[in-house]
């Protein structure tokens, strides 16, 4: 099942590593899309099908914390980041 599209990558400037993928889904023709910051560690590359997979049950994703294009969360907020990593079951450590 296609969840959405990766719209942005968030990179840790000090290391050059990707920390987050920002997924977009919902809306029509890009209007009204909701954005979701997904920890990079929660995604798995599927080289055969040329996509990333997210091993999170569909019913859990219905409650995924998201945000609007004009109101991005404070990505550097460790409490927020920890809660998102926990939601997706991804390991969280110092960035």
Residue 12 covered by a domain: yes
The model's pTM is 0.81
Range of the domain at 18: 5-88
Q: What is the pLDDT of residue 28?
A: 54
Q: What is the pLDDT of residue 27?
A: 56
The CB density around residue 37, as the number of other CB atoms within 10 Å, is: 22
Q: What is the pLDDT of residues 29-60, one digit of tens each?
A: 555 578 999 999 999 999 999 999 988 887 78
Number of domains, the chain: 1
Residue 93 covered by a domain: no
Do 6 and 25 touch, CB atoms closer than 8 A? Answer: no
Q: What whole-number distance in Å separates Cα of residue 60 and Cα of residue 87? A: 9
Residue 37 CB-half CA count within 13 A: 21
CATH number at residue 36: 2.30.30.240
């Amino acid at each position: 099942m296609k969840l959405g599209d990766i719209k942005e990558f968030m990179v840790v400037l000090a290391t050059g590593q990707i920390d987050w993928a920002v997924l977009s889904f919902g809306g029509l023709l890009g209007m009204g899309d909701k954005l979701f910051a997904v920890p990079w560690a929660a995604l798995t590359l599927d080289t055969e099908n040329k996509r990333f997979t997210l091993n999170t049950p569909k019913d859990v994703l219905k409650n995924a914390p998201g945000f609007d294009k004009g109101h991005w969360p404070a990505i550097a907020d460790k409490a927020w980041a920890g809660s998102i990593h926990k939601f997706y079951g991804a390991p969280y450590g110092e960035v």
